Homo-oligomer: A and B are copies of this chain.
Amino acid sequence: MSTPLLGVLGGMGPLAALDFARKLLALNKVETEQQHIPTLLWNVPQIPDRQLALSRGGPSPLPAMLQGIAVLNAAGATRIAIPCNTAHHWFDELAAASTAPLFHIVDATLAQLGGQQEIVGLLATRGALQSLLYQDRFDALRQRYAVNTEDELDELFMPGCYAIKHGKIVEGGRLLEAAGKRLLARGATKLVLACTEIATGLERINSPQLAASVDTNEALARTCLQYWREQNT
C-alpha cells in the first residue's frame, strides 16, 4: 500500500487553501507534530477565476487545475482535496484525470449538516449558485434552502468574497456577514458557507453567525482527517 499523502489542489484562493490547511492541523489533536497528516499543497493561484468562468463565460480554469492534479499525482498523492466550492463544478473532469481519488466538498458538507434543517441559508458565489452544485443535492434530499438575491450578490456577497481574496479580511467579513444576515432574516436556521473565503472573513470579525454555520473548509478537513485516521488504525 502506498504511504498516505494528502494532495491539496489549492490556489482558489491561496488564502482559503491555507485556512483549510490550518483547520487540518487544528482539528487533529496530537501528542507530537509527527502525527499530523502529511500534506502536499499545490497553492498556485494563476488559475482563471472560477466564478467568472461560470457566470460570465470567462476563460476556463480547467486546464490550470488539471496541471495541479498532475503534479499532485506525480508526487504520490493518495487522496486529493479541493478547498474551493466553485471549482467542484469541474469535479468529474478532475476526478477522471486523477489516479488518486478526490474528496467532494459537498459530500463533506452534507455529512456535517446534521440531517434535515428547517431552511438552509446557502451562501455561495454567483457562479457556484448558477452551477446548482448544492441546490441539486438539497432538492434530492427535499431540503428547503434560501439564497441571496441578485442585488445581494452584487452589493454584499461578491464584493465580500473578492475583498477576502485581495487581503481585505475585515471589510470582506462584514460584507459576507451582511449577506448571511439577509438569509437568516428570510428564515434560514443554518448557514452553509459554500465558498471557502467566507470563514476567513467571519472568523476575523468574530461573527456570531459562525455558531449557526457549516464551514465547508472545516467539513472537508474533517473528511480528510477521517481518511488519515483509517490509514493509521
Contacts and interface: CB of A to CB of B under 8 A. Distances in A.
Given A33-B45, A45-B34, A40 B165 contact: no
A15 interface: yes
Interface in A94-123: none
Given A18-B22, A25-B167, A75-B75, A43 B40 contact: yes
Nearest to A21: B18
A35 B32 CA distance: 36
Contact of A167 (B13, B29, B49, B166): B29
Contact of A41 (B29, B41, B76): B41
Interface of A: 5, 11, 13-15, 18, 21-22, 25-26, 29-36, 38-47, 49, 71, 74-76, 165-167
Contact of A15 (B5, B13, B25, B44): B25
A39 B47 CA distance: 13
Nearest to A40: B42
A11 B42 CA distance: 15
Given A18-B25, A36-B45, A74-B74, 14 more contacts: A13-B36, A14-B36, A15-B22, A18-B22, A21-B41, A32-B165, A33-B165, A34-B49, A38-B44, A39-B41, A40-B41, A40-B44, A40-B71, A41-B43
